[in-house]
């Protein structure tokens, strides 16, 4: 480094001496003032001296506290979740428009809510695993229903709605949801969650002690905050003592879930043998009547509160379900838009590397591209660019590349040797692929962080960035190599036009 000239050094020395002199003078004056105050305090009573010392100590503590408040790192404020109501959902659906299919589903859900509210019926949803007698129980509650009833489990394959009457004359509409594992796990869960959110009350049918999967399903249903009734079906198979013990165990298991336990018998056919006086035996098929009085009384108690009292809970569950579905659609759309943006900027980075005479070891050469990519990804995920310290992120990423760029280039070069036709790539193409890998890794690391944390977590982004650089997939490297070859061999664009 070139030393300053002689006149400049003399000026700096003079400024230093002047600063030291002023500081010394200030200290002397402060010391003189402090000693003067101390001498005066000696003439005052002791309580005045103690009070003055306490006041000065309080002022010093207050000043230190103010400095700490100004300089301490501020924790990021977590945005308060807005309440989910109908107007908020409708505004969100309007904003999404036709870009997300879940928006159309949400409109349909709100319309279905209005239709059910206008009917005024008590809406109940019937759940249960296969072969628990759920379809037979539905037939007992809604005699006009005609569900398929058979000895083979899984007779209900879709949601069906049936009407019945409660003892007080109220209309009961029952939605029969496919039994667990009938329609496939993912499909069953989606059907069950959607219908549970639309209902006033939830009914879960078992025919014995709870299994592990049944406990999990009951816990999931309890999360909807709807009145929950656990029905022990096929009660006529047990003696009175066995039935009392079993219902007691069930009540104890679901106590924390707030579920009510009742027993029922949906009725069934049984074969009896009649012996005639002449010794002949005749087999007769007899139907045992259903016993669902306890279940009907439980539903009547729920309905007694009135649909107006039940509506707020149903609306809250349904609005939460719609909000979750809209969020899934938005995340999918954001992922698709992010992938397109990353692909576009990766191609531009490859083009820039091919045009550069000597590619650098950081993002300085293509800093504008990196900044634009970061800002676009933030915009896609609903973050304002000024909320994100873009310069700090790219500076740290550049520092990471300065210590690991040679490794990145070596990884790219060695990996490409495994692909016939690409092992002889020139240095320029290898650097272009390396630049493409840098932008692809940074873009996906940033997009994943924004999608998961809903904010830019720099440490998580840089960790994912480092991992992607260290272990790129063979498919991605091959795609980047093809991109580099394609751009190298592409004809020059016409005047006035740009490459993608």
pLDDT at 153: 41
Predicted confidence (pLDDT) per residue in 284-321, tens digit: 666 667 788 899 899 888 888 776 778 888 888 888 88
Give the chain's length.
500
Q: What is the pLDDT of residue 244?
A: 92
What pLDDT does 494 receive?
A: 54
pLDDT in tens, 434-449: 778 888 888 888 888 8
Q: Are 319 and 99 in contact (CB under 8 A)?
A: no
Residue 178: pLDDT above 90?
no
Can you say how many angstroms the Cα of residue 294 is from the centroid of all Cα atoms in its chain?
40
Domain coordinates in residue numbering, the chain: 120-305, 330-489
Q: Please, are residues 264 and 231 in contact by the beta-carbon 8 Å criterion?
A: yes
Segment 127-155 shows an average pLDDT of 68
Band (99; pLDDT cuts 50, 70, 90): confident
Beta bridge partners of 344: none
Q: Which one, of 461, 411, 403, 402, lies nearest residue 431 by Cα?
A: 411
State how far the Cα of 254 lies from the Cα of 264, in Å rounded to an integer.
Answer: 18
Task: Among 3.40.50.620, 3.40.50.300, 3.40.605.10, 1.10.10.10, name the CATH number for the domain at 120-305.
Answer: 3.40.50.300
- Mean pLDDT value of segment 165-172: 85
Q: What is the pLDDT of residue 259?
A: 92
Residue 221 CA neighbour count, 13 Å, CB half: 32
Is residue 260's pLDDT more than 90? yes
Q: What is the pLDDT of residue 268?
A: 58
pLDDT digits (tens, 9 = 90+) for 410-436: 455 555 545 555 544 555 677 777 778
| Contact partners, residue 35, CB within 8 Å, separation at least 6 | none
> In this model, does residue 128 exceed pLDDT 60?
yes
- Look at 97 and 321; give whichever has higher pLDDT: 321
Are 199 and 310 in contact by the 8 Å Cβ rule? The answer is: no
Mean pLDDT for the stretch of residues 205-214: 91
Label residue 359 by pLDDT band (50, 70, 90): very low
Q: Determine the pLDDT at residue 189.
A: 74
Percent of the chain with pLDDT over 90: 10
Mean per-residue pLDDT over the chain, rounded? 77
pLDDT for 135 equals 82
CA distance 100 to 57: 63
- The per-residue pLDDT for 152 is 36
Structure confidence by residue, pLDDT tens digits, 212-251: 989 998 998 998 888 999 999 988 888 999 999 999 999 9
**Residue 183 clears pLDDT 50, i.e. is over it:** no
- Terminal-to-terminal C-alpha distance of the chain: 44
Distances from the Cα of 92 to the Cαs of 58, 87, 102, 217, 315, in angstroms? 53, 9, 11, 31, 17
Task: Label residue 84 by pLDDT band (50, 70, 90).
Answer: confident
DSSP code of residue 235: G
pLDDT of 53 > 70? The answer is yes
Q: Is 180 exposed, middle or buried (0-12, 13-18, 19+ CB in 10 A)?
A: buried
| Beta pairing, strands 201-206 & 228-232 | parallel
> Binning pLDDT at 50, 70 and 90, where does residue 358 land?
very low
The pLDDT score that the predictor gives to residue 182 is 47
Higher-confidence residue: 388 or 227?
Answer: 227
Confidence class of residue 385 from pLDDT cuts 50, 70 and 90? low
Phi, psi (rounded to 5 degrees) for 265: -135, 115
């Amino acid at each position: 480094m070139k030393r300053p000239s002689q006149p400049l050094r003399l000026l700096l020395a003079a400024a230093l001496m002047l600063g030291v002199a002023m500081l010394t003078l200030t200290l002397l004056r402060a010391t003189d003032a402090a000693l003067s105050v101390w001498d005066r305090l000696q003439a005052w009573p002791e309580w005045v001296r103690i009070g003055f010392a306490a006041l000065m100590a309080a002022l010093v503590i207050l000043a230190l506290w103010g400095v700490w408040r100004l300089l301490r790192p501020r924790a990021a404020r977590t945005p308060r979740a807005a309440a989910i109501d109908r107007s908020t959902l409708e505004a969100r659906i309007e904003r999404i428009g036709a870009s997300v299919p879940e928006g159309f589903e949400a409109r349909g859900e709100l319309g279905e809510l209005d239709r059910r509210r206008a009917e005024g019926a008590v809406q109940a949803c019937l759940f249960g695993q296969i072969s628990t007698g759920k379809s037979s129980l539905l037939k007992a509650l809604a005699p006009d229903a005609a569900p398929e009833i058979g000895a083979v489990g899984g007779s209900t394959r879709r949601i069906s709605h049936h009407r019945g009457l409660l003892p007080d004359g109220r209309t009961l509409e029952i939605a029969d949801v496919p039994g667990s594992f009938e329609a496939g796990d993912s499909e069953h869960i989606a059907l069950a969650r959607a219908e549970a959110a639309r209902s006033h009350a939830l009914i879960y049918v078992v025919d014995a002690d709870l299994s592990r999967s049944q406990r999990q399903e009951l816990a999931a249903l309890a999360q909807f905050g709807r009145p929950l009734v656990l029905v022990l079906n096929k009660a006529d198979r047990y003696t009175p003592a066995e039935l009392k013990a079993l219902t007691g165990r069930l009540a104890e298991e679901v106590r924390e879930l707030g579920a009510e336990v009742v027993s029922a018998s949906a009725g069934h056919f049984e074969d009896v043998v009649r012996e005639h006086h002449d010794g002949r035996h005749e087999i007769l098929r007899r139907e045992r009547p259903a016993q669902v009085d306890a279940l009907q009384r439980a539903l009547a108690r729920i309905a007694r509160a009135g649909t107006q009292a039940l509506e707020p809970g149903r609306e809250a569950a349904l609005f939460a379900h719609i909000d979750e579905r809209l969020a899934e659609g938005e995340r999918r759309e954001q992922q698709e838009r992010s992938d397109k943006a990353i692909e576009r900027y990766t191609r531009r980075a490859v083009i820039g590397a091919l045009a550069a005479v000597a590619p650098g070891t950081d993002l300085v050469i293509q800093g504008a591209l990196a900044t634009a990519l970061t800002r676009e990804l933030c915009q896609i995920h609903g973050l304002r660019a000024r909320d994100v310290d873009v310069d700090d992120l790219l500076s740290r990423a550049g520092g990471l590349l300065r210590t690991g760029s040679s490794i990145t280039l070596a990884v790219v070069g060695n990996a490409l040797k495994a692909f016939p036709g690409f092992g002889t790539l020139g240095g320029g193409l290898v650097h272009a692929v390396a630049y493409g890998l840098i932008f692809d890794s940074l873009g996906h690391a940033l997009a994943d962080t924004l999608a998961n944390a809903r904010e830019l977590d720099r440490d998580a982004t840089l960790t994912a960035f480092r991992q992607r650089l260290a272990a790129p997939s063979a498919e991605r490297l091959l795609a980047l190599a093809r991109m580099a070859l394609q751009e190298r061999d592409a004809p020059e664009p016409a005047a006035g036009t740009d490459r993608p």
